[in-house]
Every structure is written in C-alpha cells, then in structure tokens.
Structure 1
Amino acid sequence: MLYCCISCNGQPPLGTDHLTLEKSIEMPEVSGRIDHLTINLKDNLVYVAALGSNTVEVVDLNRGKVIHSIKGLDEPQGVCYLPVQNELVVANGGNGNCMFYNAVTYATIATVHLGSDADNVRYDAGNKKIYVGYGSGGIAVIDAATHQQTANIPLPVHPESLQIDEKNKLLFVNLPDNNSVAVIDMPTAKVIHTWKIDSLKANFPMALDTAGNSVIIGYRNPPMLVSYNATTGKERSRTALIGDVDDVFYYEPKQEIFASGGDGAINIFKKASNSGFTRIANIPTRSGARTSLLIPSLQRFVVAERPSGGKYAALAVYKIND
C-alpha cells in the first residue's frame, strides 16, 4: 500500500516518531473481523479474539508467531487473562457462552451461559470478580474462583466498553444504543448514575484517567474524543478523532491517549493542562484495523490488522518511543 503524503483516512501522517513499528506477526488462519485482545505478561502472550474465524489466536510476542489457536468458538468478542488462576476468559457473541480455559493446556474449565451476545470482559483483581456485558442489556458478575455467576446488573440496552475505577469501586459502561453512559456501584451491583449524551452517537470505546478524575470516550458519529468529569459527568473537552474507532487507552507515564480506528490510523493525543487533549500523532495503519492493546509495562502498542490486499491478518507491534 502506498501512503505517499496522505494516509488512507484522508489525513496526512503526523508524529510518526512517537511509535516505531517493531514487528508484524502474521496470523495466516484468521479471516474477517478481529475483535478484542488481552495480554499474559508472565509469558508475553497476546490472546486475539478472531471473531470472523471463530477462534482465539495465541500469539507469542517474543517468538513473533502464533503458537496456538482455540477453535470451535461462536463469534468470540471479549477476552481476558486471569494471572492468578492462569486462565483465559472468552465471551462469545453468537451463543452467549462465557468460556474459561486453562492457559497452559487450553482445556475448557467452565462455561457460563449468558443467553446471547456476550461481549466485553473486565476483571476486578481486588475482588476477584469478572464483569461481562451481554444481551440486550445486562452485565453478568462472575466469581473468578468458582466460575459461578453471582449477580446480574440490568441495563436498558446492550453494553459496550466497560472500565473499572478500582479506587472508587465504580464501573463505567458505554451504552451506544441510547447515547448514554451508566455508572455502576460495584459493591452493590447497581446503577447509580446515567449520563445522557444526545449530541454525539456511537460511544463504543472508553478509557479512564483515574488520577485526573476523567472518563474518556471515543465516538463514531461524529468521530470525536471527549473527556468527562468522572464525578459529575460534565463534559470537559472534545477533539476530532479517527473514524470507526473501537479502542482507546490512557497511557499514564506520558499522559497520552492512544486510539485505533478502522478508517486506517492510530491517533495519539497529549493531555493539556485544562484536561483537554491535543492530537500529536496520526499514524497510518491498514483499513479496518480498529482494535488494539496498550501494554504499558512493555512500552508497546499492538494493533490488530484484518487480512486485506493479499496480506494475512497480523498484529502490528509498535514500540512507544521515549
């Protein structure tokens, strides 16, 4: 693909010195859409929900290759590695099953059936609870030790990104089907606030700046990165964003936001003194490469690239430069 001076999202490359493409790891058996990723830091393994192939690909970052493929899934969307248990959680959108796998043998340990459209997964390590968004409106709370569902949090529509504020014991949830954000008190498993956002639509990804008391949300219509006060829900700032965004991350060491969009770019934003963000990088990627993973301890940013233009699906592994 020839980028010349304009990337495939129609914007000129900017700030390409912020990231260095370290390697591209091919996933030859993957076809179609790729959903979310998670990291096993002990073994430097990335688990990739290959929704279009009905598999989870296990990618060794050190060896630069796929070392295993968990097959027979049904539209895997969310994945989460549990380090203490050394288990992998996979949420299937097709049959609604939340599967637990041994991360060494890949044997199935348990299955929790959630009805339909099991999606985003988050783990609260402090309380050993797993939160899974699913169906037409709900979050299942699952005990990581027993693999039993202990609670259900009803919501008006299907939840997308979930983010845990461990300090304040809150769970923030994007609800794009009614243009809102739900704030959940985790100890009681109840919704305590709902922020209605009528001027922006399709709020899929979210990140938290806990130290700055901010909730940062990526919108698709129009493409916009918006920061909110985490206590009041009041908007603090907004700035233009890459289109078809599906993941955003806050990188605390540099006070930066990383966002990946299917329109074909990584955007990086620098936090300003007024809690706003200024775009400092627009780095071209493959079209459709909208899911990603920030790995702060490794100073790496990983982008999942769908197969296109005769190229295999791949993980593009970037080093975050100092």
Structure 2
Amino acid sequence: MKALWISAVYLSLTGSLFAQSANYHLVKKTTIGGEGGWDYLMADSDGGRLYVSHGTQVDVLDLKSHEKLGVITPTPGVHGIAVVPGTSIGYTTNGRPNTATMFNAKTFKAIKEIPTGKKPDAIMYDAFSKRVFIFNNEGNSATVLDATTGNVAGTVELGGAPEAAVSDDHGTIFVNLEDKNEVAVFDAKSLTVKHHWKLGKGEEPTGLAFDKPHHRLFSTCHKVMVVMDSQTGKVLAEVPTGSGTDGAVFDSSTGSAISSNGEGTLTIVKEVKPGQFDAVQTVTTQRGARTVTIDPKSHHIFVTTAEYGPAPAPTTEIPKPRPVVKPGTFMVLEYAAK
C-alpha cells in the first residue's frame, strides 16, 4: 500500500508539473538608441550585465535597470559575446575582419584582436575545458581559445556552417550546422568530431537550447523547433514556431524551450506529457526581435529590436528592399513567467 501511495503521489506531482502554464509577459522595455544592426546578446548573471551586439560596438547594460554602462569597441560587424566566469575577461566575434576581440569586462577596453576563421559568428565559453569556442559560419570550423590568455588552442573542422552551440559540461559540445540541417557533436578537449545528427524535417538550424538533466536539445529551424535526444541523436518532436525563427533558450524554472522569431513573437514549447512536446504559448514581442538570451538566475528573457519605417522604392539592383530601421529606436525587451 505504501508503494502504491508513493507511486500515486509521484504521478500526481509529475502530472501537475507537465500541466503547468508558462505564461510569459513583458516586464520592461528600454530604448537604448544609436544606429546599426544587431545580432546576439548575452546575460551575465555574475557580473550583473547585459551585453548587446549593436553595429560596430557592444552596448553594455545593467542587467536589472537596463542603464547603459559603456560600450566595447572596436568590434566591426560584431555577432556574439562571451564572458569567462570568475575573471574580468570577455570576447566578441567580429564578422567583417574575421577576428575576435578580447576585452576587459570591468573597463570595457579591448585587450587584443585574435584572428579566426571566416565569418566568426556564435561564441561560447565551456567550463569543462576552460576554453572559448568561436564558430566560423563561412569557415565551416570552430576556432578554439584558451579562455584566460586568448591564445589559439586549436581548430575544429566541422564539415558545415556552424551557428549556435551548447555544452553538456562534461566534455561534449553540440553545434547546429546551418547548411547541412544537422547537429555536429565534438569533444571539447580532443576537438574530435564524434557525430553528425540529422534534424529530421528541420531546415537551416540557428538557435540551440539544452535541457541538460533530461538530455534534450532544442534546435530552432525554419518555422519549427526540433527536439532531439542528446545521447542518441534521435529526433523526438518537431514543433511549429513563428516565422523568422533564430534564437533559442531553455528556462529550467518552467521547463520551457523558447524560440525568438523575427516576425515579433516568442514560441514557448513544453513537454505537456511524457514524450509529447507542444507550443503552449505565443508571446507578442516586436518585429525584428529574433535573437534571445536568458538570465539563469532570475530566469528573465531578453530580446533586442528596433522600430521600422517603410521600405524604400524597389530598384533594379534591389527589387525587394527591406524596411528601414528608424534611427534612435534600438531597444531591449525583458520578459518573465508569472
């Protein structure tokens, strides 16, 4: 009887966990201003800062107030930012000159410029290997740095165009290959590629999130989030998302994988019952808010975008011109679950 009672309680708790609603909502909107495009942003919980790529510089904000603390320059064509925990060292990826900038996270001053492969894009710090991995989208490779010195420790030949990556914190790194519709898996120390896993119906994967305790990868592809077993590479689900999908994060407080969609939405995906993944909420953001980061302490989610004006008249050279970003409207939007 005791065993049956324990089992019933477990099933009840598990059922209530799966049934929980995410219910994300806007908690703060801040206009930063300035001009230029944007790509990745990164929440540094330990330092209390939000690093935002913005044209040829990185805007550094207070994580709670959004007050602008400074800028990191020069970072022409900046894409990604990483900060090494427990140090005052950070890095950016600069797509135009094919370099990374090592910077002081206290003074925001550049320390040195490091050559990378072609079009460095995503970047991540891996605590297991104590290395920084720079993913060269057009170089089909990853440039590997010693995190404290910035010295190049090696190169990973990935066999495809890498985008976002995650670590299991035990020596294995997973990275989307945008042109191959795959996830590549490699060893963080030996730099040996172990697997190339197909993403089912997923095409052009960009964002990648990870539920480490449950061994699940969430890869954001064209209008779909692919859920994959990180131990076997088996595709577990393919969940529709908004259009213009780019970034992805996992919120452990709600058990939700979240995609940021350029159409102006967040798609919230949960395992609603064992083995079944559904989109449980669509959150309205603003057009262009396609990249995302999460503060692992507060579990707040941040996206960046700007206001758009009308598109210019078509020309022979540009038959389908894009809408123009309004100067001075660059902003941060912060979301939280109730």
Query: C-alpha root-mean-square deviation of aligned residues, in Å?
Result: 1.9
The 5 A counterparts of 1:40-51 are 40-50=44-54
Match for 1:257: what amino acid? Answer: A
Deviations 1:262-290 (A, max 9, x none): 01101112223333322121111111110
Say yes or no: does 1:156 pair with 2:159.
yes
Matched residues in 1 for 2:52 and 2:218: separation?
24
1:186 corresponds to 2:191: no
Structure 2: runs of 5 or more not aligned: 1-19, 310-325
Tell me whether 1:18 sits opposite 2:23 in the alignment. Answer: yes
How far apart in 1 are the matches of 2:224 and 2:64? 35
Residues 24 and 42 (structure 1 numbering): CA distance in 2 closer, same or farther, change over 3 Å? same
TM-superposed deviation, 1:234: 1.4
Report whether the alignment pairs 1:84 with 2:107.
no
Question: How far apart, CA to CA, are the structure 1 residues paired with 2:121 and 2:79?
Answer: 5
Map of 1:268 onto structure 2: 268
Give the Cα separation in 2 of the matches to 1:199 and 1:317.
Answer: 31
1:144-223 to structure 2, matched below 5 A, reads: 144-167=147-170, 169-197=171-199, 199-220=201-222, 223=223
Match for residue 313 of structure 1? 330
Is 1:137 aligned with 2:140?
A: yes
2:3 is aligned to none
Query: How many residue pairs align between the two structures?
Result: 301
Q: In the TM superposition, what whole-angstrom CA distance separates every residue of 1:104-143 from its partner, at most 9, and x where no partner exists?
A: 1122222210142111111112331111101421111100
How far apart, in 1, do the equivalents of 2:232 and 2:45 lie?
A: 35
Q: Deviations over 1:225-281 (max 9, x none)?
A: 111121221111111111111111111222111111001101112223333322121
Residue 17 (structure 1) shift: 7.9
User: What is the correspondence of 1:54-73 to structure 2 with a 5 Å cutoff?
Assistant: 54-73=56-75
Residue in 2 that maps onto 1:39: 43
For the 8 Å contact 2:253–2:299, the answer to whether it is kept is no
Equivalences for 1:250-269 in 2 at 5 Å? 250-269=250-269
2:227 paired residue number? 227
Rounded Cα–Cα distance in structure 1 between residues aligned with 2:95 and 2:30: 26
Cα drift, residue 41 of structure 1: 2.0
Look up the equivalent residue of 1:319 and give its one-letter code. A
Specify the code of the residue in structure 2 equivalent to 1:258. Answer: I
TM-score, scaled to structure 2: 0.84
Which residue identity lines up with residue 122 of structure 2 in the other structure?
N
1:272 partner SS: strand
Percent of aligned pairs with the same amino acid: 23
Match of 1:108 among 103, 107, 110: 110
> Equivalent residue for 2:313?
none
**Could you tell me how far apart the structure 1 residues matched to 2:174 and 2:29 are?**
33
Cα contact 2:131–2:146 (8 A) shared by 1? yes
Provide the secondary structure at the position in 2 that maps to 1:29: coil
1:305 and 1:16 map into 2 onto residues whose CA distance is 26
**Counterpart-to-counterpart distance in 2, 1:160 and 1:36:** 11
Distance 2:275 2:145 in 1: 35
Letter in structure 2 aligned against 1:24 = K
Distance 1:154 1:228 in 2: 23
CA contact (8 A) 2:22 2:268 kept: no
- Segment of structure 1 superposing worse, 40-49 or 90-99: 40-49
- Aligned counterparts of 1:257 and 1:197: Cα–Cα separation in 2: 17
1:279–1:289 Cα change, 3 Å: same
Larger radius of gyration: 2
Residues 228 and 234 in structure 2, CA contact (< 8 A), matched pair in contact too: yes
Give the AA of the match of 2:289. A
Normalising by structure 1, what TM-score? Answer: 0.88
Question: Match of 2:280, as an amino acid?
Answer: I
User: Contact (CA 8 Å) 1:16, 1:283: kept in 2 or not?
Assistant: no
The CA deviation at 1:185 is: 1.7
C-alpha contact 2:73 2:109 (8 A) present in aligned 1: no
Measure how far apart 1:16 and its partner are: 10
Taking the aligned partners of 1:211 and 1:125, their CA distance within structure 2 comes to: 17
* Distance in 1 (alpha carbons) for counterparts of 2:22 and 2:192: 44
